[in-house]
């Protein structure tokens, strides 16, 4: 049996300013920091074996702040991203830990672009109210809440699910099957995609799914099945 904890990052500075964020790399606001710390207090007695985040700072900050409250005394350490050139390979090589003792006391933090938020295309950086005034509230609602209609040059939830679910199934589930407790800190739409998969939701059902910022969601993986647990 293994635990899976999903958490949407805390409020970001662009959430605070009512802007479409998507893949723009914006940090947490003060409220978002406090939300992450509050989640860490709730999760402080969990022993995690591996942490997955998106590549975006707001998700990484959320995971690290949660672990700042953890009582396991293990230290979360960012794994190097895959190197595309010699310079990036040097960064990866120089970040290696050569101590077996300290390595045993760390928790690997794996960053994956597949867990990034939905790409909002040409809406990124735009004020949500001004966008409604420009395009109409109904059109903006369709872009935000339909399953398969993307914003201009962006992704719909369908496209987000096409990258998020295979990554979860192929990379994260094997860790759970090996008995590892997993924390995933990601985003509203990438996590909605994963929950759609876990709960076998229809395209219509997932549209009404709301995940609160900084609110942990727990599943237990046992005998190749996921069961949602409300208690933390």
Note the pLDDT of residue 65: 98
**Which secondary structure element, helix H or strand E, spans residue 17, and what is its range?**
none
C-alpha to C-alpha distance for 20 and 187, rounded to whole angstroms: 13
CATH code for position 190: 3.40.50.1240
pLDDT in tens, 15-31: 999 999 999 999 999 99
Give the Cβ contact number of residue 209 at 10 Å: 15
Whether residue 143 is predicted with pLDDT greater than 60 in this model: the reply is yes
Q: pTM for the complete prediction?
A: 0.95
C-alpha to C-alpha distance for 184 and 8, rounded to whole angstroms: 8
Note the pLDDT of residue 118: 97
**Of 164, 66, 79, 165, nearest in space to 117 by CA:** 164
Note the pLDDT of residue 221: 96
Mean pLDDT of 124-129: 97
Residue pair 156/150 in contact by the 8 Å Cβ criterion: yes
pLDDT in tens, 87-103: 999 989 999 999 999 99
Give the Cβ contact number of residue 208 at 10 Å: 8
Whether residue 116 is predicted with pLDDT greater than 90 in this model: the reply is yes
C-alpha to C-alpha distance for 37 and 26, rounded to whole angstroms: 18
Task: Work out the pLDDT band at 232, boundaries 50, 70, 90.
Answer: low
Residue pair 40/10 in contact by the 8 Å Cβ criterion: no
Whether residue 113 is predicted with pLDDT greater than 80 in this model: the reply is yes
C-alpha to C-alpha distance for 209 and 154, rounded to whole angstroms: 21
Q: Which residue range is the domain that position 187 belongs to?
A: 2-229
Whether residue 231 is predicted with pLDDT greater than 60 in this model: the reply is no
Q: In the numeric block, which tokens belong to residue 99?
A: 């101590």
C-alpha to C-alpha distance for 35 and 130, rounded to whole angstroms: 28
Beta bridge partners of 52: 110, 184
Which of 17, 30, 79, 117 is catalytic? The answer is 117
User: For the ranges 34-43, 73-82, 210-219, 223-232, which has the lowest average pLDDT?
Assistant: 223-232
Which of 9, 35, 155, 187 is catalytic? The answer is 9
C-alpha to C-alpha distance for 179 and 182, rounded to whole angstroms: 9
Mean pLDDT of 177-182: 97
Task: Work out the pLDDT band at 82, boundaries 50, 70, 90.
Answer: confident
Is 17 marked active-site?
Answer: no
Note the pLDDT of residue 66: 98
Quote the mean pLDDT of the chain. Answer: 95
Is 9 marked active-site?
Answer: yes
In the chain, the number of structural domains is: 1
Q: Tell me which DSSP letter residue 3 carries.
A: E
Give the Cβ contact number of residue 194 at 10 Å: 23
Residue at token pair 């992450």: 36
Task: Work out the pLDDT band at 124, boundaries 50, 70, 90.
Answer: very high
Using DSSP, state whether 83 is helix, strand or coil.
coil
Note the pLDDT of residue 73: 87
């Amino acid at each position: 049996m293994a635990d899976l904890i999903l958490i949407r990052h805390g409020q970001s500075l662009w959430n605070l300013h009512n802007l479409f964020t998507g893949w723009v790399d914006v940090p947490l606001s003060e409220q978002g920091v406090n939300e992450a710390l509050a989640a860490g207090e709730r999760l402080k007695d969990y022993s995690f074996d591996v942490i997955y985040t998106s590549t975006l700072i707001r998700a990484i900050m959320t995971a690290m702040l949660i672990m700042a409250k953890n009582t396991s005394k293990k230290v979360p350490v960012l794994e190097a991203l895959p190197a595309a050139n010699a310079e990036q390979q040097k960064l990866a090589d120089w970040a290696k830990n050569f101590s077996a003792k300290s390595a045993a006391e760390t928790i690997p933090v794996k960053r994956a672009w597949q867990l990034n938020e939905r790409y909002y295309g040409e809406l990124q950086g735009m004020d949500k109210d001004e966008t409604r005034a420009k395009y109409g509230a109904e059109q903006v609602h369709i872009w935000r809440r339909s399953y398969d209609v993307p914003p201009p040059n962006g992704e719909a939830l369908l496209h987000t699910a096409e990258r998020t679910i295979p990554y979860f199934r192929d990379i994260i589930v094997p860790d759970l099957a090996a008995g590892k407790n997993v924390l995933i800190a990601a985003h509203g739409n990438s996590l909605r995609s994963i929950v759609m998969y876990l709960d076998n939701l229809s395209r219509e059902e997932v549209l009404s799914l709301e995940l609160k910022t900084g609110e942990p969601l727990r599943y237990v993986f046992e005998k190749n099945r996921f069961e949602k647990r409300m208690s933390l």
